Amino acid sequence: MGYAHDHILVLDRDQRIIRINDQFLDLVKIPRSEILNKNPSTLSFQDQPAQTIFSSIRSCLESGVFNKEIVIKNDKEMVFFQKIIPTVFEDGERGIIILLEDITKRKNAESALRISEEQFRMMADNILDGIVIYENGNAIYTNWRVEEIFGYSREELATRSPIDLAAPEERTRVMKIIDECSASGTVPLSFMFWIIRKDNTRRYISNRITSVERDEALVRYIIITDMTEWKQAQDGLIDQLAFLQHMIDTFPNPLFYLDLQGRYLGCNSAFEKLTGKKFEDIAGKTNSEISGSWQAEIFSRNDAKLLECSGIITYKGSFYQTNGQPSKLTIQKSTFHTVKGALAGIVGIIYLDEKI
């Protein structure tokens, strides 16, 4: 009894205390002589822990409820699980063993976990992203936002795969991603695709995935963000840029534009024909990186001065075309600005004057 972790009290068949271990005495702060050979029903104490414990023992012996939790408040709150075990001793006499198991740490851990789960649920239920938690392939948590994004209830979503939810043109790609994940055992950190909601409207979603191994379980957290407005804006911008590119490609004269560091941001097809270089070969490069120093000087001349003063400049120069023929050029340059008025770069237009 002295080496046991539990607090132990032993009663004989007349419910007199015949044994008590040191752990129990330390808990109730009572000398052994004051309670040994006495019936718990006759004991009364002013000390709160002792009064709580013996009151619980008396009520359990009277009611026949042998297992219960009791809370003792002293300097700090402690929680015990009380077990009353009828037993037979070696001499054949009947008796009762009372065990008090200190479960304070476990209860505190459960309370902390419960608070943490409540905080998580409060957070998850009040953010604009959908959250789904899978454990070993089964969805164990889905917040309200997922239902709102897809238009299906949680129960309906549980019966549908990503392929079922994907737009028809996306299903082959989504299936390929899923097959690759199954074959490799790895999961992409994120991927985006169009879905068809229950009401047949389309939404574009981003899925960010985090996997965590916890004991024997594989837990995956999926954060789903509705990116439809962003996607529509991006597609609109791409369409607008494509239209602008078409516009400058119809312009007969070579045209180009540079950033503040002299790197190519764009050009038209006439400029590609003049220089013999596709835009993807010169994008982000300067003139000195894509042509000889003499040729580069023609296109870079006066750029620094123009950026200092802004406005428009025009100058002439000579240039060898891709067919080897030298030509005289007139180059007109002007600065351009952002919508907020900040200097952003230079636009240049080239006029072929004549062959030399």
- Per-residue model confidence as pLDDT tens digits over 116-144: 777 777 776 777 899 888 888 788 888 88
Report the candidate in 201, 217, 198, 218 with the shortest Cα–Cα distance to residue 209.
Answer: 218
Complete domains list, the chain, with CATH: 7-106 (3.30.450.20), 125-231 (3.30.450.20), 248-355 (3.30.450.20)
**Cα distance between residue 18 and residue 10, in whole Å:** 6
pLDDT tens digits along 289-315: 887 666 778 888 889 889 988 889 999
Q: Which pair of tokens denotes residue 126?
A: 């009040």
Pick left, alpha or beta for residue 99 (phi over 0 → left; psi -120 to 50 → alpha; otherwise beta).
beta
Q: Which residue has the tokens 């709102």?
A: 148
pLDDT band for position 269 (cuts 50, 70, 90): very high
| Residue position matching structure tokens 């995935």 | 209
Give me 328's structure tokens. 């005289």
| Contact assessment for residue 316 and residue 330, using Cβ atoms and an 8 Å cutoff | yes
Alpha-carbon span 303 to 348, nearest angstrom: 10
What are 97's strand-pairing partners? 10, 85
Contacts of 193 (CB under 8 A, 6+ apart): 162, 166, 167, 170, 173, 174, 204, 205
Asked whether residue 159 carries a pLDDT value surpassing 80, the answer given is: yes
**Burial class, 330, CB count within 10 angstroms (exposed 0-12 / middle 13-18 / buried 19+):** middle
Most confident of 43-52, 105-114, 196-205: 196-205
Q: Say if residue 5's pLDDT is above 80.
A: no
Cα distance between residue 83 and residue 99, in whole Å: 5
- Per cent of the chain over pLDDT 90 is 28
| Residue 356: pLDDT band with limits 50, 70, 90 | very low
Is the CB of residue 264 less than 8 Å from the CB of residue 285?
Answer: yes
Write out the two tokens for 79.
Answer: 């929680």
Radius of gyration of the chain (CA): 41
Over residues 171-185, the pLDDT tens digits come to 999 998 888 877 766
What is the pTM (predicted TM-score) of this model? 0.55
Q: What is the pLDDT of residue 172?
A: 93
Alpha helices in 89-215 (DSSP H): 104-124, 144-150, 154-157, 162-165, 171-184
Greater model confidence, 167 or 128: 167
CB hemisphere CA count around 353 (13 angstroms): 14
3-class state of residue 325 by DSSP? coil
DSSP H helical ranges for the chain: 22-28, 32-35, 48-63, 104-124, 144-150, 154-157, 162-165, 171-184, 228-250, 269-275, 279-282, 287-290, 293-300, 303-309
Cα–Cα distance for residue pair 309/4, rounded to 1 Å: 90
Q: How far is residue 186's CA from residue 180's CA, in Å, rounded to a whole number? A: 8
- The sheet that has 202-214: what strands, in order across it? 138-142, 130-135, 217-226, 202-214, 190-196
Q: How far apart are CA 283 and CA 299, in angstroms?
A: 15
Phi, psi of 66 (to 5 degrees): -90, -20
Return d(Cα 346, Cα 260) in angstroms, integer: 7
Single-letter residue type at 64? G
Cα separation of 272 and 151, whole Å? 49
Per this entry, what is the length of the chain?
356
Diameter of the chain measured on Cα atoms: 127
Copy the structure tokens of residue 255.
């045209």
